[in-house]
Amino acid sequence: AISIHLRHCARTFANGTTALHPLDLDINAGETLVLLGPSGCGKTTTLRLISGLETPDAGGQIRFGEEDVTRLPIEKRDVGMVFQNYALFPNMNVADNVAYGLKIKRLPAQEIRRRVEEMLAMMHLDAYADRAIHELSGGQKQRVALARAMAVRPRVLLFDEPLAALDAKLRDRLRIDIGQLLRQLGTTAIYVTHDQAEAMALGDRIAVMEQGRIAQIGSPREIYHHP
């Protein structure tokens, strides 16, 4: 797994909105860091800087391990992303959606089949490999999106409110499965949410954001245990 380092990363948009004040952040190799905070506090902007969808203002630097990725476009960063709205390919069945990134990487057919089966099993989708996307429930679609993102074993996994569109019961189940998967894969992950329960359950550490700054960072215990 790889560590991530943000140095002096700020972002002010053309309209004058400052989404992020200069930010330093170190994410340990293999940990899940949760960015927690209310709407508008800068969580998504931070995530987009790490993914390469957004570039920090002049003076900012982002490293993956020793590698400076500040100017590297998203497709070269080797990151997997899962959003709130699944962005699956509607004309491919479940297995083909999960296989998509593996085919782009030109893995051997046998390896692709093995990994697709493994990911579908981990996401409890074994029975759905041949299903069309429109046949799936919302929770199942999000499981496919997770399987697809993780199948390629990216260097970094980025989650932007992946459970926000689901009802409470589904959310609880999927949260548990994501936690298991993250522990099993050991991939460095950044997980954006405004949900405290999700942050507690999934974060090795939690960065609490307020108005474009990290107000507090630490383990769930450190954040929520007030002496």
Distances, alpha carbon 225 to alpha carbons 50, 202, 210, 218, 221, in Å? 29, 17, 19, 11, 5
**Under 8 Å between Cβ of 192 and 161:** yes
DSSP annotation of 153? -
SS3 86: coil
State in angstroms the smallest separation of the CB of 68 from ligand ADP: 23
110 binds ligand ADP (CB under 6 A): no
36, 79, 136, 144: which one binds ligand ADP (CB under 6 A): 136
For residue 40, which phi and psi values (nearest 5 degrees)?
90, 0
State in angstroms the smallest separation of the CB of 107 from ligand ADP: 28
39 binds ligand ADP (CB under 6 A): yes
- Measured CA angle at 201 (ends 200, 202), to 5 deg: 100
State in angstroms the smallest separation of the CB of 135 from ligand ADP: 4
Helix (H) or strand (E) holding 142: helix 138-151
State in angstroms the smallest separation of the CB of 167 from ligand ADP: 7
138 binds ligand ADP (CB under 6 A): yes
32, 44, 142, 188: which one binds ligand ADP (CB under 6 A): 44
* Residue at token pair 């019961």: 169
List the interface residues with ligand ADP, window 153-192 (CB under 6 A).
Answer: 170
69, 88, 112, 140: which one binds ligand ADP (CB under 6 A): 140
* Candidates 36-44, 75-83, 112-120, 172-180; binding stretch for ligand ADP (CB under 6 A): 36-44
220 binds ligand ADP (CB under 6 A): no
Size of the site for ligand ADP (CB under 6 A): 19
How many C-beta neighbours within 10 Å does residue 137 have?
Answer: 10
* Candidates 1-9, 43-51, 78-86, 176-184; binding stretch for ligand ADP (CB under 6 A): 43-51
State in angstroms the smallest separation of the CB of 143 from ligand ADP: 10
188: CB partners within 8 A, 6+ apart: 1, 2, 3, 4, 27, 28, 29, 30, 31, 32, 155, 156, 157
